[in-house]
Structure 1
Amino acid sequence: MSMKLGIIGFGGMGKFHSKQAPKAGVTVIGAADIKEERVQEAIEAGIKGYHSADELLADPEINTVILTVPNHLHKEMAIKAAKAGKNVITEKPAALNVAELDEMTKACEEAGVCFTTHQNRRWDRDMLTVKKAYETGMLGKVFTIESRLHSGNGYMHEWHLYKKYGGGMMYDWGVHLIDQILFMMPDAKVKTIFADLKNVLHEEVDDYFKIILKMDNGVTAHIELSTYILKYQPRWLAAGDKGTLVIQSLGGVDGAIYRTGQLLEKLPPQIAESAAGPTRQFAPVPPGGIVEEPLPEIQTDVLDFYRNFSDVIDGKAEQFVKIPSVRRVLAVMEACRKSSETGEAIAFE
């Protein structure tokens, strides 16, 4: 493989890429950081240490850079890297808005370099399980997909706490959760978007959001994230007219598909007594009325992100994370903020 990688920003994600990329056959040349201790950490890890992005970009041995700096620096660094003739990978979100991304894309096109974003959550086993169930008709005609991510940890950390750096959970995880839904149904258009963003524990940035995407294929997607819900709900719920799929946790296979053992043609004549009073519609399902099946098996390897981009650089493959799809996610995020500010649903595509 021809990727010779330089990492700009050697914090948590920078160190992550320095360890992961070599597993995919990528050569990591070095890392740049403005903090001296991180430069030394790069050297101790057996790669070059640079004291600035400019110093790294001047190294002819590097042909690709990955930007693991705070979000507000992505545009500046990407354009600078493109002008230096380096292929560009940004951490997500690629930019703070569509206009910034368009500037970055133009710079990369003019420089003749490849450009992508590290949307690694497209390889999540839990999401790919739901995607397979949707694509293969395993659940029949799907009418709702619910994507939830809950944490009881409360507060965020470091620069994610500040608006000026592009902090908040919409930029941090919202970009992943929206991307997963759009990736799952790439041919479906988003008809309307309604969103509610909240500051529960944080003054400056959002730490809770609820997004409802009404798609033109009949699916309504619900996306919810919170840093402070203390009893987690299932990571995924997808329901169709032939079954319901539930996955409990992030990255997990702890779930099942549920089907009716015998679909009732009509409700029973008798009224059942429940703790909430008499009911027919919500009476307990009799034994055997619902049967459980295992989730489909999924093979996935997140290292394919690096392998694919290496092949793209070599002219041997089509880019997996394409910029138009990244742009679409940013456009949805902008509509979410507008919806939350106005309290109204936004007509989209």
Structure 2
Amino acid sequence: MNVKLGILGFGGMGKWHEENARRVDQVEIIASCDIKEEKRKESEARGVKSYEFVDDFLANPDINTVLLTVPNYLHKEMAIKAAKAGKNIICEKPAALNVKELDEMTQAAKDNNVIFTVHQNRRWDKDFQIVKKVYEENLIGKIFTIESKLHTANGRIHEWHLYKKYGGGMMYDWGVHLIDQTLFMMGDAHLVSVFADIKSIINDEVDDYFKILMKFDNGITVHLELGTYILSYQPRWLVAGNRGTLKINSFACDGEIWRTSELLDKLPAQIAETVAGPTRQFAPQPAGVLYSEALPEVKTEWTDFYKNFVQVINGKEELKIKIPEVRKVLSVMEAAFESSETNKAIMF
């Protein structure tokens, strides 16, 4: 059976999905739907039939799966409509604005016996997959801290993302990705606590900066940070273990793993004069003690999401993005908002 896709919302993400999904065997783009005439014309120009009204779109018998790329606040309403129409559902992230909404969407899918998943495509990012490989294979020993940071100097947020009532802001845009990557990588490790600081720096109504600390019972503290107005960027990833340190500077995966040729406790304990004054602990390392090596190779593609979905509707695989995982991400987001408002860590 082919995935016969109807795209509900033909803005930037709708067009991105139309281009990428059709690259996968057994995925057909049947139709789109958008309230804006210019978007419908753009869809038709790409050879994709387009509808103005949702009910007409959902009545198309050729569509067996609906992809939701509408603004965040519409996800629940449109998912329930699609479920009642008997369509499988792929929802753009965040699946919902809170756990309660997601539970209603999940129940609608269950009641109507349709498949429901969420497009968390950042699980297939190459930079993330490198970090996950290093973590799972203990390539830098026992990890004790992970920093996942995303900085830009662009400042302003655009379009409906500017407005709280539409589900705008960076927590709902990129926060959901960074949290999902963290929980997915940590696997069975138990999340102990969440502490967050969420701010609006340039954009008045919605958040454009956040810092989240997530402590796990495996001894790892994960530090997530996003800022739309940070003018000198820090590395995308910094991961430290007791046998090495990984640094990835950007999505281009430029970086390395740093190691030491000797255990530091075997080095002579002598005081050095530095620009910071006399110091023993922070004296420069002797030449040749620290060295770098290339990052491990990984193979990953965003289209693997659709390849998995094809197998799921044909009963050959399980969903890669499971709703209980999505629910946990939303619960962490809710905890982050609560922590920022109360200035207290939220215990899990």
TM-score, with structure 1 as normaliser: 0.98
| Structure 1 residues 1-349: aligned runs within 5 Å | 1-25=1-25, 26-250=27-251, 252-266=252-266, 268-348=268-348
1:253, CA displacement in angstroms?
2.1
Secondary structure at the residue paired with 2:264? coil
* Aligned equivalents of 2:293, 2:85: Cα separation in 1: 54
The answer (yes or no) to whether the contact 1:267–1:280 under 8 Å persists in 2 is no
1:265, CA displacement in angstroms?
2.2
Question: AA paired with 2:320?
Answer: F
Question: AA paired with 2:161?
Answer: H
* Aligned equivalents of 2:269, 2:225: Cα separation in 1: 38
1:262, CA displacement in angstroms?
1.1
The answer (yes or no) to whether the contact 1:267–1:281 under 8 Å persists in 2 is no
* Aligned equivalents of 2:270, 2:130: Cα separation in 1: 39
* Aligned equivalents of 1:266, 1:255: Cα separation in 2: 28
* Aligned equivalents of 1:241, 1:41: Cα separation in 2: 54
Q: Deviations over 1:180-238 (max 9, x none)?
A: 01111111111010000000001110000000000011100000000010111000011
* Aligned equivalents of 1:100, 1:106: Cα separation in 2: 10
Secondary structure at the residue paired with 1:179? helix
Question: AA paired with 2:308?
Answer: N
Secondary structure at the residue paired with 1:308? helix
1:267, CA displacement in angstroms?
5.6
Structure 2: runs of 5+ lacking an equivalent: none
Structure 1: runs of 5+ lacking an equivalent: none
The answer (yes or no) to whether the contact 1:154–1:227 under 8 Å persists in 2 is yes
1:266, CA displacement in angstroms?
4.9
The answer (yes or no) to whether the contact 1:193–1:212 under 8 Å persists in 2 is yes
* Aligned equivalents of 2:265, 2:123: Cα separation in 1: 40
State percent identity of aligned pairs: 64
Secondary structure at the residue paired with 2:90? strand
* Aligned equivalents of 2:234, 2:265: Cα separation in 1: 31
Secondary structure at the residue paired with 1:306? helix
Over 4 Å off, 4+ runs: none
Secondary structure at the residue paired with 2:22? helix
1:269, CA displacement in angstroms?
3.7
1:146, CA displacement in angstroms?
0.5
* Aligned equivalents of 1:316, 1:61: Cα separation in 2: 22
* Aligned equivalents of 1:269, 1:52: Cα separation in 2: 74
1:268, CA displacement in angstroms?
2.9
Question: AA paired with 1:22?
Answer: R
Secondary structure at the residue paired with 1:170? helix
* Aligned equivalents of 2:293, 2:234: Cα separation in 1: 20
